[in-house]
Amino acid sequence: MTPPARRRWVLHVDMDQFIAAVEVLRNPDLVGKQVVVGGRGDPTERGVVSTASYEARAFGVGSGMPLRVAVKKLPDAIFLPVDGEAYTEASNNVMDAVRSLGVVVEVMGWDEAFLGVETDDPVAFATRVHDTVFDATALHCSVGIGDNKLRAKIATDFGKPQGIYMLTSDNWFEVMGDKSTDALWGIGKKTAKKLATLGITTVAELAVTDDEVLAAAFGPKTGPWIGTKGRGVDLSPVSAEPWVARSHSRETTFQHDLDDWTVVTEEVRRLALRVRDDLLAEDRMAIRVTLKVRYVPFETHTTTTPLAGPTFDPHIISDAAAALIDRLDHTRAVRLMGVRLEMTPQNVQTLANNAGDDSGT
Q: Which residues are catalytic?
A: 112
Counting every residue, how long is the chain?
Answer: 361
What kind and span of H or E run contains 337? strand 334-343
**Spatial distance between the Cα atoms of 217 and 314, rounded to a whole number of angstroms:** 40
**Spatial distance between the Cα atoms of 344 and 22, rounded to a whole number of angstroms:** 35
Q: Which residues fall within 8 angstroms of residue 341, CB to CB, at 6 or more apart?
A: 247, 248, 249, 272, 275, 276, 278, 279, 286, 288, 289, 290, 317
**Spatial distance between the Cα atoms of 347 and 342, rounded to a whole number of angstroms:** 13
Phi then psi dihedrals of residue 82, to 5 deg: -70, 135
User: Strand 247-258 relative to strand 286-295: parallel, antiparallel, unpaired?
Assistant: unpaired
CB atoms within 10 A of CB 94: 25
Q: Which of 245, 210, 251 is nearest to 231 (CA)?
A: 210
Specify whether the CB–CB gap between 68 and 44 falls below 8 A.
Answer: yes
Q: Which of 170, 158, 189, 190 is nearest to 232 (CA)?
A: 170
**Spatial distance between the Cα atoms of 228 and 191, rounded to a whole number of angstroms:** 14
